Amino acid sequence: MHQFPVLNGELVIGGVPLSRLAARVGQTPFYAYDRRLLATRVAELRSLLPDGVRLHYAMKANPMPALVCHMARLVDGIDVASAGELKVALDAGANPEEISFAGPGKGRGELRQAVAAGILINIESPREIDELAAISADAGLAARVAVRVNPDFELKSSGMKMGGGARQFGVDAEQVPELLAGIGRAGLAFEGFHLFAGSQNLRAEAIVEAQIKSYELALRLSSFAPASVRFLNLGGGFGIPYFPGERPLELAPVAAGLATIAERAAHELPAARLVIELGRYLVGEAGVYVSRIIDRKVSRGQVFLVADGGLHHHLSASGNFGQVIRKNYPVAIGNRLGAPTSITASVVGPLCTPLDLLADRMPLADAQPGDLVVIFQSGAYGLSASPQAFLGHPTCLEVLV
Ligand SMILES: *Cc1c(COP(=O)(O)O)cnc(C)c1O
């Protein structure tokens, strides 16, 4: 993984060599996120995006408060998926005008907080209209709403499909005209549409196709809207490479597709702010998970490096966060990067379950207890997506450096 420099055989994160960083953190395991890499990623993306396409951070990818603060200054808006995330986004200083809230099953209390904060709520069911009408009347504030549409197409070759077919997300495209009429009758402040087809896609053509189809669907639906479209969130789904053979997403065709959409929108939906929302792509490559080897065992010829970290902090690296086939994340011995990968070893965690596998028979440097195992591509869907309480081991720290 070439995003981090190497100095004297040690990985350098946020300008600090790994063993020094571990000493400063004061414990293993920990996650470390590199501020500079986060800023560079956003800057590179912005340099390609057409003017007029706004960039939102979907904070479920990584809700660490310090990281959200950092991101809030770099992007145009934050997408939240719960009242808990809303609180973090507001505390991070994000402008409520530029926060949007999506997710099925928004509770009454969550909707009330969202209305009070003045953020945009992506409506995903007729029930939410009724709740919001009552809350708006009570609060003396018309809820700002967009409709999250479950499109009539899927994002091809996506790691996780979140639109098309039967879904718990959004409202089926064919039901949207009736829902829009309901929004008008309820007197809510309609602003636009939100479409999110899927996640972790490395194929630019598939993303472009989904974004153009999303735009065209929103355009068709706009004729049923109670007010002009001022907000159009076309989703994202930009992936990052995790496994051998995966190539980084090519941004140029995606940017060109968005430029075409922006040109059309300028006359077809002239009041609309176009938004893309990205989680993993913005933060995933800037983070590592670091654990220390406690034991080295050989079982019937196979080497096991037993680390103090495991699936309770990093479920996705263990292959148990929605993966169909388990594959190794990129893993290295972070304080022996100068050494040849001369052994084949499995890195396991301390949990009493065979699922606690961080690397399965990988070529690694000849490592010993005390050495530091680094799992790359760990800035998204790491700690907050893991069952920390499982088996009662110490909690993990996160640092932004
Ligand atoms: C999860 C999610 C995202 C972020 O997905 P990534 O793959 O991390 O970019 C964006 N929007 C919505 C609605 C989501 O549910």
- The reply to whether 246 falls in a domain is yes
Whole-number Å distance between alpha carbons of 122 and 150: 12
Quick one: 27 and 137 in the same domain? no
pLDDT at 161: 72
Please list the ranges in the chain whose pLDDT falls under 70.
155, 157-159
- Domain of 356 in residue numbering reads as 6-32+285-400
Quick one: 298 and 354 in the same domain? yes
Cα Rg of the chain (Å, integer): 22
Atom nearest to 239 CA in ligand 1: 7
Does residue 199 have its Cβ closer than 6 Å to ligand 1? yes
Question: Quick check: helix, strand or coil at residue 119?
Answer: coil
Whole-number Å distance between alpha carbons of 30 and 198: 29
Number of folded domains that form the chain? 2
Task: Quote the ligand 1 centre to 59 CA distance (angstroms).
Answer: 8
**CATH at residue 182:** 3.20.20.10
pLDDT at 157: 67
Quick one: 377 and 302 in the same domain? yes
Choice from 78, 150, 196, 202 to test ligand 1 binding pocket (greatest atom count within 8 A of CB):
196
Digit-coded pLDDT (tens) for 315-344: 999 999 988 899 999 999 999 999 999 999
pLDDT at 241: 97
Task: Quote the ligand 1 centre to 394 CA distance (angstroms).
Answer: 29
Quick one: 317 and 257 in the same domain? no
Helix axes 65-74, 83-91, angle to 10 degrees: 70
Quick one: 24 and 119 in the same domain? no
CA distances to 4, 48, 240, 252, 285 from 44, rounded to whole Å, are: 16, 7, 15, 11, 14
Whole-number Å distance between alpha carbons of 11 and 6: 5
- The reply to whether 42 falls in a domain is no
Task: Quote the ligand 1 centre to 318 CA distance (angstroms).
Answer: 21
Does residue 278 have its Cβ closer than 6 Å to ligand 1? yes
- The reply to whether 320 falls in a domain is yes
Digit-coded pLDDT (tens) for 163-203: 778 999 999 999 999 999 999 999 999 999 999 988 999 99
Atom nearest to 282 CA in ligand 1: 9
Does residue 281 have its Cβ closer than 6 Å to ligand 1? yes
Whole-number Å distance between alpha carbons of 333 and 9: 10
pLDDT at 158: 66
Does residue 277 have its Cβ closer than 6 Å to ligand 1? yes
Between the two ends of the chain, the Cα-to-Cα distance in Å is 18
- The reply to whether 47 falls in a domain is no
Quick one: 264 and 300 in the same domain? no
The H or E element containing residue 359 is strand 357-364
Choice from 67, 168, 240, 277 to test ligand 1 binding pocket (greatest atom count within 8 A of CB):
277
292 and 379 Cβ atoms separated by less than 8 Å:
no
Does residue 78 have its Cβ closer than 6 Å to ligand 1? no
Quick one: 211 and 334 in the same domain? no
Quick one: 293 and 271 in the same domain? no
Question: Quick check: helix, strand or coil at residue 201?
Answer: strand
Task: Quote the ligand 1 centre to 26 CA distance (angstroms).
Answer: 33
Task: Quote the ligand 1 centre to 55 CA distance (angstroms).
Answer: 13
Does residue 236 have its Cβ closer than 6 Å to ligand 1? yes
Domain final residue pick, 278, 296, 320: 278
pLDDT at 164: 76
Does residue 56 have its Cβ closer than 6 Å to ligand 1? no
Atom nearest to 160 CA in ligand 1: 7
356: nearest Cα among 312, 389, 304? 312
- The reply to whether 81 falls in a domain is yes
